[in-house]
Structure 1
């Protein structure tokens, strides 16, 4: 698990962020003002004309750029090899010429998608590993390459990102912890399955208020209401501290009319497995720092909203 400490942000311009003090933990500073976060993943780009809905993705990214959001990569940027495919490929014993050919072909596919994502360079908090990545001959993978190209930390399989909001007027602040994972397993058939899985993570990480997961073609969130106390000993103030369990959506169509393979009618992975159609699109998370007066002193809270 990777821990990312978002404490010192230095803005280069309205759309760019320079990461400083990178030494295993990435640090930023967040001003005491609303922050919008857009998780992006499960694009599963497989080439022009494939299942990936690039038009929808471009519109989504353009909105994020206009509104100066921060993106989080949820994995499965391309759709080439599943975990079992990688095992079989490693066991096949291909000649070097064959593996070099495959490597170049996947690199070309990755760079096609990079052209779509390139306007967001420098706007990412980090990127976690998905399932459908390619292990390149130079030791990189699809996900480590996209993290490098988009100028953000590669977060591995799971990450907790600490977001520090600081009120410069009082030098006081507030921290929000965000748990990020691509997801795993089938996550069940019912719409509630992904939230059941995330609920168990809340039990393991009680101080985390924002849980992000991709992997399944669902879009939405569930709120867990909670309470906390703020203030000095002997004079606490009760505050509302809700938690959001977020299904981050994706951009890969599960069913396509007229789909074919090898010159014959044939559906994709979702159609073959009798899975529900994919819900396309992504969420926008808004974190709003708020200050209220209680018994003559300031009480600071972070309000969470998720829209899709």
Structure 2
């Protein structure tokens, strides 16, 4: 053995076998137009395709940070529930599926709840995470939504929910179906307290979530192109034996047929929610410039100096510059207002 085989060859092999340092998620393909988008550009554009405007699914943490002022909010912990009450198993144990979902999302369940300010208005927000078992609603999600509603009523704050779910979680059976009634009662208490309850539909919102708390909001908003419905399109077509119209169960179709109040792109969602909450709570809008500050003709501050008196004549004080007429909509009076 020589130095060539002992030293040079291992160095060359290590150099050739050096793993690629390029991360796997550097580029993303748009599922709509198949355009490749750089990761940084996608994040800056709030996970909206820069080519076709397709709204991709957004993780719950990023949505909360995007929504609240300065990305600051307080996390509301949800109550713990029994992990696998039915000891359910299909091709894989339910507990194993839960562990995989928790490792993938770094969350305990498919819902996150936070409180903060949106455009200066305090609010409680519950966000579903579709990456956690398809955002399915089990006991953990039900407890999270009930807790969010309770905090909203206790602190007298509006409740905003962002559903993104495939429906009830089948691994929990009837215990999952119970959450449809529990969450409906919970959000009804918010409405009975005279507080706004706003639902912002995201892609997709289907199944038991649509059939319970998601469709009873005071205001229904949706992101563009979101899939909203109860049963799937193929199930409906098989049942009625007819072809469904184009765009069926999409946000724009539902808005045309009176199921939604508005469809708002993601970059305008925060401003729209802030304006909606202020309207529902009868709060004053954002302070605008006072009327009368911008006049048709500028007012100068120059005053003509008084003339020197001739002899012993008494000098008259210089007349003050006439006051400019106030702009339309302002009250001009020298008398103090009476209480």
TM-score normalized by the length of structure 2: 0.26
Structure with greater proportional strand content:
1
Structure with greater proportional helix content:
2
Q: Relative contact order: is structure 1 or structure 2 higher (C-alpha 8 Å, sep ≥ 6)? A: 1
Flag the structure with larger Rg: 2
TM-score normalized by the length of structure 1: 0.28
